[in-house]
Amino acid sequence: MQTRIYRWCVSILLMSSLILGGCATSAQQSDTLDDSIAETQAQSPVPSESNQFSGLPYLEGEATVEMIVNGAPISILVRGLDAPITAGNFVDLANRGVYDGLVFHRVIRQPQPFVVQGGDPQGKDPNFPANQLGTGSFVDPATGQPRYIPLEITPANAQEPVYSQTLESAGITDQPPKLRHTRGAVAMARSNLPDSASAQFYFALADLEFLDGDYAVFGYVTEGMDVVDQIQQGDRITSARVTSGLNNLKLMD
């Protein structure tokens, strides 16, 4: 019983850190983002309903991305059928070389295994302050503007994703998402604004059921989880390449 109470308390603390990190101002970011899965931006990225998905990449099927870290490969199966926009965004960024050289700026293993997070484009600059990583987004060179994607979660018994809402806020409390936070899940980091994910992602180091329905899982590590387990804060992604399924990458009209 004491063990279960301890795990529940830890889960609540970790979830609270996610919420705190998302609403930080620029002056507070370095303090509040350290223990959260959060990606922060200066202004709300929420688009209007009429053009919410226009111009965004999406994945029509599956793809495989191979990420090299510390000289070893991590194979990620990207699930476009259940998270088409989230999966398409990740595959597009990998194909563009956006993740090459970026830092894993947040690794949390204590008091229990949690996440390894990276993908802040600001980390490409070796002189960028490490304590400010976790605040950056992908800037589309075609527009000069940050690209944000909607929160996208497909309930277990649904054919279509729920967009721009957590499952709880959408009133779906009787079923989990199709893509769950099991060990090896790969999901998008975001702030407390639902449509604020951009480039930052995280690996789940354990089953994290308390994140299900709040953050968008888009794939799973199929090989190389032992490599993920060895990642330390400050390690860099040598490269990320789409090894199959690139033909499934499309662009929203």
Side-chain-facing half-sphere of 48: CA atoms under 13 Å = 2
Cβ(116)–Cβ(203) under 8 Å?
yes
For residues 26 and 4, which has the higher predicted lDDT (pLDDT)?
4
What pLDDT, on the 0 to 100 scale, is given for residue 215?
98
**Residues 14-65: tens digit of each pLDDT:** 544 343 233 333 323 332 333 445 544 333 343 444 467 889 999 999 999 9
Task: Give the global pTM.
Answer: 0.85
CB 181 within 8 A of CB 212: yes
pLDDT at 194: 96
When pLDDT is averaged across residues 167-180 and rounded to a whole number, the result is 96
Span 213-226, average pLDDT: 98
What SS3 state is found at 150?
coil
**φ and ψ at residue 189, rounded to 5 degrees:** -80, 150
Whole-angstrom Cα distance, residue 213 to residue 138? 24
How many other CB atoms are there within 10 angstroms of residue 50's CB atom?
A: 6
- At residue 43, φ and ψ (nearest 5 deg) are -140, 160
- Residue 185 scores a pLDDT above 50: yes
Please report the pLDDT score of residue 20 as a whole number: 26
Look up the CATH number of domain 56-251: 2.40.100.10
Between 234 and 44, whose confidence is greater? Answer: 234
pLDDT at 140: 96
So where are the chain's domains? Answer: 56-251
Separation between Cα atoms, residue 90 and residue 111, nearest integer Å? 29
For the residues 138-147, what does the mean pLDDT come to? 95
- Predicted confidence at residue 1, as pLDDT, reads 45
Nearest in space to 120 (alpha carbons), one of 145, 93, 144, 95: 93
Residue of 173 and 24 predicted with greater confidence: 173
Confidence class of residue 253 from pLDDT cuts 50, 70 and 90?
Answer: confident
